[in-house]
Amino acid sequence: MTDPAERPSSNGSDERPRPQYGEYATPEEQRARIQQPDMTWLLETGQDPDALHGAPAKAAPSVAAPAAAPPRSGRFADRVATIALLVYGLVNVVTSIPSMIGYEAYASTLLSLLGVDTELADPGAGRPWGVAAALVLAIGWLITAYVSWRSLKAGRVTWWIPLVAGIVFLFVSGTLLMVPIVSDPAVWNAILDTAR
């Protein structure tokens, strides 16, 4: 077989430069030139490459457990921010639950803040909605704390979890609290009168 570098081109002149470093050689030709055995073949057949050169066989290196990565300073800031947001959320939940369960006082306070001079036609009908909103907040905080704890334990960035969960669960509970107010025609008429 002729060397590809020595083959003449079809027009008689080869304009390519001659290979200097074995670019056209097959792996077998390269090994023959540098006179080294194929390490892949040796390892696949279970032979020690050093034994071919007369060197004593090396002992297998002991496998040590990987060292724990040193904590980064960002992890501490993330942990502090996550815990602070969870504590703030817990205080918010604990202080909000009594006012949600006592829905009549909540509704009258909200209507007076809106400048609407009226009361709900059936204040007792809002109590189940207040209890549902309180349950959403309490269960939402528990879920958020659990997911945040798992994320912190896994070493992931976690500060955003209580922030997003707080927004979501406050929105859901606020929507539940507004259902009795929005569905009361007397309140709607008072709101429209105030807006005029």
pLDDT attached to residue 172: 96
**Higher per-residue pLDDT: 143 or 114:** 143
pLDDT attached to residue 68: 53
Residues 19, 26: Cα–Cα separation, whole Å: 13
Residues 53, 46: Cα–Cα separation, whole Å: 16
What string of DSSP letters covers 116-163?
A: -----S-GGGGHHHHHHHHHHHHHHHHHHHHHHHHHHHHT---THHHH
Q: What is the pLDDT of residues 84-101, one digit of tens each?
A: 999 999 999 999 999 899
Asked if residue 142 has pLDDT above 90, the reply is yes
CA distances from 60 to 41, 44, 48, 186 (A): 19, 16, 11, 85
**pTM of the prediction?**
0.58
Residues 95, 185: Cα–Cα separation, whole Å: 30
Q: Provide mean pLDDT across the span 39-53.
A: 67
**Higher per-residue pLDDT: 196 or 103:** 103
Q: What is the mean pLDDT of the chain?
A: 79
Residues 117, 194: Cα–Cα separation, whole Å: 9
SS3 88: helix
Query: CB of 134 within 8 A of CB of 96?
Result: yes
